[in-house]
């Protein structure tokens, strides 16, 4: 019985390793980081934002509009209270907080772009950041994670965020 269990376990592991990221005929996501980088830089240059923008080593471009107050920054496991607007590069807004309302998020449960950019500011800080598709929703086809409404596949996202508070 132990031998049969070991053989089944070994076969399952080897089968899993051979499948890489392709699951049940699903086409793996493309790595569009080079194309996204060019598109973001072109956008920043065309809108005279390149001088103010910085690039994080993981590919998010950001502009800190206000650093915020205090000596601490949020961490990956922080609860964050924010005012925000999310849009596409063409200006189409796909999500935003209502006037005067702030929204509470668990930073660890947000897209990679947020987990990279939000810890760059302190309480009361404001940041605008540009998220390449591989750090946002990628293919966004609904098969691997919930579909983000109003966001086309492989979209570069722009966020304007004010960090009201964090715990």
Confidence category of residue 147, pLDDT binned at 50, 70, 90: low
Summarised one tens digit per residue, pLDDT across range 88-130 is 999 999 999 998 899 999 999 999 999 999 999 999 999 999 9
The pLDDT of residue 26: 41
For residue 77, the enclosing domain spans 30-166
Indicate the number of domains in the chain: 1
Domain containing 46 — which CATH number?
3.10.50.40
The answer to whether position 23 is within a domain reads no
Q: How confident is the model at residue 28 (pLDDT cuts 50, 70, 90)?
A: low
Structure tokens at 121: 């500011």
In a domain, 24, yes or no: no
In a domain, 6, yes or no: no
Distance CA 89, CA 37 (A): 13
Q: What is the mean pLDDT of the chain?
A: 85
**Share above pLDDT 90 across residues of the chain, in percent, rounded to a whole number:** 71
* Measured distance CA(21)–CA(116) in Å, rounded: 24
Asked whether residue 115 is domain-assigned, the answer is yes
**Is residue 126 in a domain?**
yes
For residue 140, is pLDDT > 70? Answer: no
CA trace torsion 88, 25, 31, 75 (10° rounding): 70
**For residue 127, which phi and psi values (nearest 5 degrees)?**
-140, 145
Residues 6+ apart with CB under 8 A from 91: none
Picking from 22-31, 78-87, 98-107, which range would have the lowest pLDDT averaged per residue?
22-31
Residue with tokens 């999310």: 86
Answer whether residue 22 is part of any domain. Answer: no
């Amino acid at each position: 019985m132990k031998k049969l269990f070991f053989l089944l376990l070994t076969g399952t592991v080897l089968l899993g390793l051979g499948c890489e990221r392709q699951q049940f005929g699903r086409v793996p996501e493309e790595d569009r980081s080079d194309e996204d980088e060019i598109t973001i830089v072109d956008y920043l240059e065309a809108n005279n934002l390149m001088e103010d923008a910085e690039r994080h080593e993981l590919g998010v471009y950001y502009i800190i509009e206000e650093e915020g107050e205090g000596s601490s920054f949020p961490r990956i496991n922080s609860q964050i209270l924010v005012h925000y607007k999310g849009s596409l590069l063409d200006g189409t807004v796909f999500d935003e907080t209502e006037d005067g309302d702030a929204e509470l998020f668990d930073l660890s449960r947000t897209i990679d772009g947020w987990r990279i950019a939000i810890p760059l500011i302190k309480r009361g800080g404001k940041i605008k950041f540009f998220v390449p598709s591989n750090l946002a929703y990628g293919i966004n086809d609904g098969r691997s994670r919930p579909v983000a409404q109003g966001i086309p596949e492989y979209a570069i996202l722009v966020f304007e965020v004010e960090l009201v508070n964090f715990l």
